[in-house]
Structure 1
């Protein structure tokens, strides 16, 4: 079907199309006038991005998330906020509401039924790339719509605080319980450390402050000195004073005096032996004095040597005993170090839990919200619906489309010949001529020639 045929159909069915259009417009107008008036009141909220949290000082990027705004819209439309509005306005205590609830026969409770009823007439308006949210409520009473819209705005502001505070309060209770456990653990660790210090007699685990280690070093030095003196004494006894004196013997005054007296006695004996014979009393006296001094010197040297050996043995035994004591002390110090580490770890865990408890306690007590009421809902002075002018404009468009459809449907049911082309399509025969009313015969013959030739 080309445009010319469609235009011919519209001209032929113009009365039906016009009648359909008029009926549609009249019906829409009557229905719009008969429908009850509905009022709409809107409360405007703004989500403020404050950056760093004033309590914790941390920057939360949650508000920069693309799904943050959609989440807030779902929160506003939640049943929990609707129940808060019901409790805030005490709608469940109204006798009229109770009567309507009984008549509805709903299986829900009164509060849940009211919450669902409020959410049906609630509308949330947002704009792209904007932090402003409009909470609108529609109803027959203009004052009631403004009250409900403001109640939803206040409930959303309150729930935003609760959603921030409640996790912090629960975390604070958890940290309080954990803090008690950590305190008990710390007390047990400190008690073990004190008992072990008293049992082992160790004050500090630092080796530099240990007296026993210093005593071991002193005994090691004394042993080295005693061994050196012993080596010098034995060497002197072996070489019989032919290679000099040892430091130990040289420091002995008795031995030095005996050596001096022996040297004098040997000189006197040498002089006497050169002047007198072996049987002379002076020779025998000088020899006896010399032998006596030598015997006393050897006796004192032996005593000194034995004393050096005994001293070296005693120092060695004391050193071995001190070494065993230091080894045992080091083993005890290692265990003490583990106790110190256990106390330090328990103290660190306790301090961390205390810090987190203080932080979460502040967060749980904070009455801060990122939602601010920009404009409160006002009582509307004009009805939001029905909109008569808009409905009439829409009825004109709809009536026109409906009239065209009715015209085409009538044409399909009762097919008429509207042009020569219809005869060609239906009968499949050529058209010899077209007779039109009010047109001269000469022109009618001229108009039929193209069709006859074709």
Structure 2
């Protein structure tokens, strides 16, 4: 279809097109005038995504870049929980017309509040502002005052809901840490009681100090045993020497009695030799000297035995002291080992008590923090704009609807004309014969009003051309 054909069709079907256009515009304008006026009230909030949690000490460096954060806030604002909170705040449950409508539509089945939230929620809209953290909350109603009040109620319900969503987990954690802290406190008391009982039963007041003292005693006894072992070895060797050659022992040689007797014996022996050489062996003086020498020898042997016997006594005393020191060392070693075992057991109990104390302190700290968080009344949503009563209805928009009706009516008029032409095709131009009928154009019959203006020779030429183009006898 060419542009000229298009305009020819419109000129031919202008009455139909005009009727469609007028009908469309009339219907749209009429419906717009009959529609109930609707007022849209809008409130706005801003979400601070960078504040973090002041109580927990957490700061988000760039909270706005968290994927889906603002989308989550939109879902929260559109949730049934927010609408039900606003519904109760507005006391819409006491509205008799609303309940009658619910009874008529649902016959009393289901929840009235859920039905109201679903029905009136269709009038509620939340839109995030592009490239910002602001949300606009809009509510549409036939009454301007009710629309503004409902928009403000929804905004406040959204703020309260965001606060509850932050506080409710803290309350749950607070309950958990409260129960857990009580359990840990009982465990701590049991660990401390067990440690105290063990220390009291074993007399452990200062375990490390007592162990140091006992270790010092053990070291001292070890030194004494070492010294006594050396002395015992020495006295044992001297006793053995005393049994084999007591005359050459230092104790014997240094004994004054033995020395005096040895000197007297030597003197008497020298006198015996002198008397024996002068007087003879049977002389009474010689016999007297011999008796004196025999007596001195007996006395010397007795003194030697006494002097060597002191070595045996000293060895016996040293061995006794060594035995006692060894027993004391063994007893002290056993005491130290027992004290170490007690200290190890006490250390285990002490560590149990310390671990219980640390666990209780950690749970108590978390309990304190969650208790503060559960009582938090601060939220990261701030009011940007309260909804006010709109002065003009948001719908229907007469001017806009009329403009749309004009354009839409024109399109429908053109479409109706073309559709009518397609169902009732007419030959309106010379091109329609060639392209529509697929035939050669023979002649164009002029309009009747124009025939008087053309001369007869022109008509005769057309007649001759038409007849010459026909086959058979008609051509003659």
Q: State the TM-score, normalizing by the size of structure 1.
A: 0.87
Give the C-alpha shift of residue 270 in structure 1: 3.0
Match for 2:408 among 398, 404, 421?
A: 398
Query: Once the two structures are superposed, what CA deviation does each residue of 1:365-409 show, in whole Å capped at 9, x if it has no partner?
Result: 111011111111101111111111111221122112212221221
Q: Quick one: distance in 1 between partners of 2:40 and 2:142?
A: 9
Cα distance between partner residues in 2 of 1:395 and 1:152: 35
Cα distance in structure 2, aligned partners of 1:409 and 1:7: 14
Q: Secondary structure at the match of 2:127?
A: strand
Correspondence 1:300-311 to 2 at 5 A: 300-311=310-321
Show the counterpart of 1:57: 57
Is residue 123–residue 136 contact of structure 1 (8 Å, CA) maintained in 2? yes
User: C-alpha separation between the residues in 2 aligned to 1:196 and 1:389?
Assistant: 94
- Equivalent positions of 1:169-184 (< 5 A) are 169-184=171-186
Higher mean C-alpha deviation, range 151-160 or range 103-112:
103-112
Provide the C-alpha distance between the structure 1 equivalents of 2:446 and 2:258, rounded to a whole number of angstroms: 182
Asked if residue 13 in structure 1 is aligned to residue 13 in structure 2, the reply is yes
CA contact 1:258–1:296 (8 Å) conserved in 2? no
List runs of 5+ in structure 1 lacking aligned partners.
244-248
Shift of 1:434: 4.1
Give the drift of 1:193: 1.3
**Corresponding position of 2:123:** 121
SS at match of 1:272: helix
CA distance in 2, matches of 1:63, 1:162: 21
Provide the C-alpha distance between the structure 1 equivalents of 2:225 and 2:173, rounded to a whole number of angstroms: 66
C-alpha separation in 1, matches of 2:91 and 2:253: 122
Secondary structure in structure 1 of the residue aligned to 2:109: coil
TM-score (norm 2): 0.83
Which of 187, 199, 202 is 2:201 aligned to? Answer: 199
Matches within 5 A, 1:128-147: 128-147=130-149
1:144–1:269 Cα change, 3 Å: same
Q: Which residue of 1 aligns with 2:472?
A: none
1:246 alignment partner in structure 2: none
* 1:276 and 2:272 aligned: yes
State how far apart, in whole Å, the 2-side matches of 1:235 and 1:422 are: 154
Are 1:97 and 2:107 an aligned pair? no
Aligned length: 439
Describe the shift of the 1:267–1:59 C-alpha distance in structure 2 as closer, same or farther (beyond 3 A).
farther
Distance of 1:256 and 1:42 partners within structure 2: 128
Residue in 1 that maps onto 2:192:
190
Return 5+ residue gaps in structure 2 as ranges. Answer: 274-285, 470-476
5 Å matches for 1:376-387?
376-387=386-397
What's the counterpart of residue 229 of structure 1?
Answer: 231
Q: Would you say the 8 A contact 2:147–2:389 is kept in 1?
A: yes
1:318 to 328, 347, 361: 328
Counterpart of 1:298 in structure 2 is 308
What is the rounded CA distance, in whole Å, between the counterparts of 1:433 and 1:306 in structure 2? 168
Taking only aligned residues, the RMSD between alpha carbons, in angstroms, comes to 3.1
Contact 2:29 2:402 in 1 (8 A): yes
Quote the Cα distance in structure 2 between the aligned partners of 1:257 and 1:172: 95
Distance (whole Å) between structure 1 residues aligned to residue 439 and residue 97 of structure 2: 78
CA deviation digits over 1:274-323, x for unaligned, max 9?
33359514433433332222111111100100111121122222222322
Partner of 2:281: none
Residue 358 of structure 1: CA displacement? 0.4
